[in-house]
C-alpha cells in the first residue's frame, strides 16, 4: 500500500497556463472567464455552468486544439521529477482535474507520464462546436459546495494513506480540505488564507518535491 496519496490538479498546476483559458481565448470569445469569475467566486454559478458558458462559443477541431495547448500552455518545472520520486518510493500520484481528459493525456504523454491515473471531464472539439462530457467519477453532491466535485474521487481512492494535495484554483477548494498537506498557489492560496487554513506555497514541483523529501513523516515512512 502506498504511504502517500498525492493528488495533483492539472490546469494552472501541472501547466503554467490554464488550458481552458488558452482554448477559449484562441477559439472562443476572449475574456469570457473574467466576466464569469466574480459570480463563480460568489457561488452564484457552478464551475460546470461557467465551463459550459466558456465553451459554448468554441469552434475548433481536436487536432487544432491540442496543437494550441502543447505550444502555448507550458508545463511547470519539476513534475516529471515528482512522478519519478513518487513511483520510486511506492507513493500513489493521481491527476485530478475539472478539465478535459483529451487534453490532459496529450500533455502527460509529452512528459513521459501518460501512464498516470487521471480523473477528469472530457470534451469533443469540432469545427461546428464543442460538447462537454462530464465525468461519471463525481459521485453525489459535495456536503461543502453542493456540487459533484473532486472530494468524491479522493474518497474513492483514499485508503488511510497520508494525503498530499497540489492545486491552484476554485475546483481545488473542497478537495484541499481533506489533505494532510496542501501545496497551494494563486486562487487556492488566496481562498485558504481567507478561510484560515494552512498550506505550503510553491512555485514549481521542485518546491513540492524538496519539501516532501525533507518532511520527517515521509522520510520515516520511506
Q: In what order do the strands lie in the sheet with 117-126?
A: 129-133, 117-126, 92-100, 4-8, 162-167, 181-184, 200-201
What value does the mean pLDDT take over residues 34-46? 87
Q: Count CB atoms within 10 A of the CB of residue 219.
A: 10
Say if CB 164 and CB 6 are below 8 A apart.
Answer: yes
**Does 190 score more than 60 pLDDT?**
yes
pLDDT in tens, 143-182: 888 777 888 888 888 877 799 999 999 899 999 999 999 9
Q: For residue 128, what are the CA distances in angstroms to 25, 61, 69, 125, 131?
A: 17, 8, 19, 8, 10
Q: How far apart are the first and last CA of the chain?
A: 12
* Superfamily classification of domain 4-221: HAD superfamily/HAD-like (3.40.50.1000)
Question: Which SS3 state, helix, strand or coil, does residue 122 take?
Answer: strand
| Among the listed residues 79, 149, 159, 81, the one whose alpha carbon sits nearest the alpha carbon of residue 120 | 149
pLDDT in tens, 46-104: 888 888 998 998 999 999 999 999 999 999 999 999 999 999 999 999 999 999 999 99
Amino acid at each position: 500500500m502506498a504511504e502517500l496519496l498525492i493528488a495533483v490538479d492539472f490546469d494552472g498546476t501541472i501547466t503554467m497556463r490554464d488550458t481552458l483559458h488558452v482554448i477559449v481565448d484562441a477559439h472562443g470569445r476572449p475574456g469570457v472567464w473574467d466576466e464569469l469569475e466574480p459570480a463563480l467566486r460568489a457561488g452564484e454559478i457552478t464551475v460546470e455552468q461557467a465551463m459550459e458558458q466558456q465553451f459554448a462559443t468554441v469552434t475548433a477541431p481536436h487536432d487544432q486544439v491540442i496543437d494550441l495547448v502543447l505550444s502555448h500552455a507550458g508545463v511547470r518545472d519539476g513534475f516529471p521529477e515528482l512522478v519519478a520520486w513518487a513511483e520510486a518510493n511506492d507513493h500513489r500520484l493521481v491527476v485530478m482535474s475539472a478539465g478535459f481528459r483529451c487534453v490532459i493525456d496529450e500533455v502527460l504523454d509529452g512528459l513521459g507520464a501518460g501512464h498516470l491515473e487521471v480523473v477528469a471531464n472530457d470534451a469533443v472539439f469540432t469545427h461546428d462546436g464543442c460538447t462537454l462530457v462530464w465525468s461519471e467519477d463525481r459521485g453525489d453532491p459535495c456536503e461543502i459546495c453542493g456540487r459533484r466535485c473532486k472530494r468524491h474521487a479522493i474518497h474513492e481512492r483514499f485508503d488511510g494513506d497520508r494525503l498530499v494535495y497540489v492545486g491552484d484554483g476554485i475546483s481545488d477548494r473542497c478537495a484541499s480540505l481533506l489533505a494532510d498537506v496542501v501545496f497551494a498557489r494563486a486562487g487556492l492560496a488566496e481562498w485558504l488564507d481567507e478561510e484560515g487554513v494552512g498550506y505550503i506555497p510553491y512555485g514549481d514541483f521542485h518546491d513540492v518535491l524538496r519539501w516532501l523529501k525533507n518532511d520527517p513523516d515521509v522520510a520515516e515512512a520511506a
